[in-house]
Amino acid sequence: MHAFANEAARLESFGRSIDRIKRDVEARVGAEDLRRVRRLRWLSRTCEVIGRAAIHFSFEPIGFTAGVLALFVHKQLEATEIGHTALHGAYDRFGKATGFHSSSFRWRVPIDEPSWRYGHNVRHHGNTNVAGKDPDIHFGPIRLTEHTPWRPTHRLQVPFALFILFPNFGFLMNTHFTGVTDSWFGNGRGGMDFLADRSFRTRLRAHWHALRKYIPYYAYEYLLFPILAGPFWWKVLLGNWLSEVLRDVYSAATIFCGHVGHDVAAYPEGDKASGRGAWYARQVEASNDFEVNQVLSVLCGGLDRQIEHHLFPKLAPERLRELAPLVRRACEEHGVRYNTASWPATLKKAFAHIAALSKEAPNTTTVLRGAMRVMS
C-alpha cells in the first residue's frame, strides 16, 4: 500500500485508478462482445431443445435427469449471463435489432422487466447497502442488516431462506420488485418500499405487474409442455419444475453472497459518498466476490465478480473477469477492503450473518441490568 498525504488523497487516487481500468476495458468492447452473447444464446437454446426433448421422450431416470440438467443450464444462462447482463444495458450500444437491448429485452425468468430495471439498476446500484434507500437489504421477511428493525418473524428467517426463498427465488423476486411483497408484509422500514402509497389502486397495479409475467411464463412451463406430453404430463411437469428449482437455488446461492456478511459495509440512512473515489470504495466494501472456475462463473453470470459488477454494471461478465485482478491490485494499493473467498465460505458467512440478525438485539436496559449483576 502506498503512503498518502490524507484520506482524501487516498480516495482520489483510488478513483483515478478505477477510472483508468474502466477506460482501458471499455476501449476493447466491440463486436466480439456481441458475438459472444449470440453464441451463448445459441448454446442456451440448444440446451433447451435437448432438455425438453429428453424430458418428454425419456422413460428411464438417466435420460430424464440429463434432460432436467440441460434445461437447467438453459434457464441459468438466460437468467444471469445473458438476461441480467442485457437488462443492465451491456449490449445497448449495438442497437435494438440485436434483441439484447435493455429497453426491449424479454427475460426468460418469471420477473417483470420494467420493475426489475427500476428496482435493481436504479435503486439498488444507486444506493448499495444504504439503509432506507437500497430495497435489496430491506426484503420482506428477511432481515439483512441491523438497520432493519427486528421483528419476531425474523427468528425464522434462516429456515425461510433455505426452504422457501431459495427454491422459489424467481417467483419471490418478482413479488419483491413489483411491490407485491411490500404491499402484504412491508419491509421493516416503511416509507421506502416499492409502493408510492398504500391505496387499493397502487396495490392492484403491483399485482398486475407481477401477474403479467407470471401468467405467460408459468403457462409455458407448466401447461403447454405437459399438455403436449398427453398421458405423461406428470413427468414433463416434474422435469420442468425440477429444472426451475435448480435454477432458483443456484441463482439464490449466487446472489445471496453479493452483499451479505459481517464484514460487508452497510451505510446509515442519509450517508453519502464524498466524491467519486469514495463512491467506488463504498461499492467495493459493500460487496463480496467469490472464487469459482470458469464454467461455474458463466453459470453465475459473472456475479462471482460482484465487486467488479458494482463498479462497472454495464460491462459484460467476460470483461469483469478480465479486469478483476486489476481491481484487486488497485484496492490493495489504496487500502480498500476487497472481500473474496471460496463460494462455500462466502455463502456460509452470509448465512451466519442472517442467523445473527435473526436474534433480537438486547436493549439498553437489559444490558445495564446484566452488567450490574456481574458487578455485584
Mean pLDDT of 214-236: 97
pLDDT at 248 over 90: yes
Mean pLDDT of 74-85: 98
Pick from 191-200, 263-272, 335-344 the range whose average pLDDT is largest: 335-344
Domain that holds residue 149: 109-271+338-376
Query: Taking a C-beta distance cutoff of 8 angstroms, is the pair 262, 288 a contact?
Result: no
Please give the residue that has the higher pLDDT: either 97 or 139. 97
Same domain, 25 and 39: no
Same domain, 248 and 161: yes
Q: Residue 274: which of 47, 5, 10 has the closest Cα?
A: 10
Question: Residue 91 falls within a domain, yes or no?
Answer: yes
Same domain, 120 and 265: yes
Give the list of residues 6+ apart from residue 78 with CB closer than 8 angstroms, or none.
44, 107, 108, 109
Question: Residue 56 falls within a domain, yes or no?
Answer: yes
Same domain, 158 and 248: yes
The DSSP symbol for 108 reads: S
Question: Residue 163 falls within a domain, yes or no?
Answer: yes
pLDDT attached to residue 191: 53
Final residue of a structural domain among 105, 132, 159 = 105
Same domain, 181 and 301: no
Give the list of residues 6+ apart from residue 158 with CB closer than 8 angstroms, or none.
351, 354, 355, 358
pLDDT, tens digit, for every residue of 358-367? 998 765 333 3
The DSSP symbol for 137 reads: G
pLDDT attached to residue 190: 60
Question: Residue 277 falls within a domain, yes or no?
Answer: no
Final residue of a structural domain among 50, 75, 105 = 105
Same domain, 156 and 205: yes
Same domain, 218 and 152: yes
pLDDT, tens digit, for every residue of 294-318? 999 999 999 999 999 999 999 999 9
pLDDT attached to residue 252: 97
How many whole angstroms separate alpha carbon 355 and alpha carbon 352?
Answer: 5
Final residue of a structural domain among 53, 78, 105 = 105
Q: What is the average pLDDT score of the chain?
A: 92
Same domain, 90 and 234: no
Give the list of residues 6+ apart from residue 369 with CB closer than 8 angstroms, or none.
none
Same domain, 189 and 41: no
Rg (CA), the chain: 22
Same domain, 264 and 170: yes
Quick one: what percent of the chain has pLDDT higher than 70? 93
Task: Identify the band that residue 373 occupies on the pLDDT scale cut at 50, 70 and 90.
Answer: very low
How many whole angstroms separate alpha carbon 148 and alpha carbon 185?
Answer: 14
pLDDT attached to residue 185: 81
Cell for 145?
442488516
Same domain, 292 and 355: no
pLDDT attached to residue 213: 98
Mean pLDDT of 278-282: 96
How many whole angstroms separate alpha carbon 82 and alpha carbon 107?
Answer: 9
pLDDT, tens digit, for every residue of 314-329? 999 999 999 999 999 9
Same domain, 195 and 327: no
pLDDT, tens digit, for every residue of 50-61? 999 999 999 999
Mean pLDDT of 229-242: 97
Question: Residue 158 falls within a domain, yes or no?
Answer: yes
Domain count, the chain: 3
Query: Taking a C-beta distance cutoff of 8 angstroms, is the pair 91, 33 a contact?
Result: yes
Question: Residue 131 falls within a domain, yes or no?
Answer: yes
pLDDT at 347 over 50: yes
pLDDT at 177 over 80: yes
pLDDT, tens digit, for every residue of 193-212? 566 677 888 899 999 999 99
Question: Residue 281 falls within a domain, yes or no?
Answer: no
pLDDT attached to residue 93: 96
Question: Residue 276 falls within a domain, yes or no?
Answer: no
pLDDT attached to residue 366: 36
pLDDT, tens digit, for every residue of 83-137? 999 999 999 999 999 999 999 999 999 999 999 999 999 999 999 999 988 988 8
